Amino acid sequence: GENVEQHPSTLSVQEGDSAVIKCTYSDSASNYFPWYKQELGKGPQLIIDIRSNVGEKKDQRIAVTLNKTAKHFSLHITETQPEDSAVYFCAARGYGGSQGNLIFGKGTKLSVKP
């Protein structure tokens, strides 16, 4: 089955700097890669996602890139702000049936220092 590795487990940046979180996946059949943000004491929320037919997607200060050949994808946050501090999870999903469930990485705790 699918396995998702996420790095780093913790990341500390100064406000205004960029942050990059990287994930690798094992199943070449996976075709959907979302990123979730979890604030303290709350459930995760989808912030951006990418499908396997796209190499890059941007939404304001957030971007995700996908390299299907290398089987890795990354989250890029530019001009970080204190409210970006949270735990971020990447995930991968195959197609259909029991393979259609999301497999999550172990999370990255991002701290943005003012």
If binding is defined by CB under 8 A, does position 53 make contact with other proteins?
Answer: no
From the list 21, 24, 25, 36, which residue makes contact with other proteins (rule: CB under 8 A)?
A: 36
- Report the residue from 64, 73, 89, 92 that binds other proteins according to the rule CB under 8 A: 89
Handedness of CA 97, 99, 100, 106 (dihedral sign): positive
Q: Residue 11: how many CA atoms within 13 Å on its side-chain side?
A: 26
The reply to whether 88 sits near other proteins by the rule CB under 8 A is: no
User: How far apart are CB 11 and other proteins at their closest, in Å?
Assistant: 14
The count of chain residues that interact with other proteins, using the rule CB under 8 A, is 27
- Euclidean distance between CA atoms 74 and 11, whole angstroms: 14
For residue 90, what are its two tokens? 């990447």
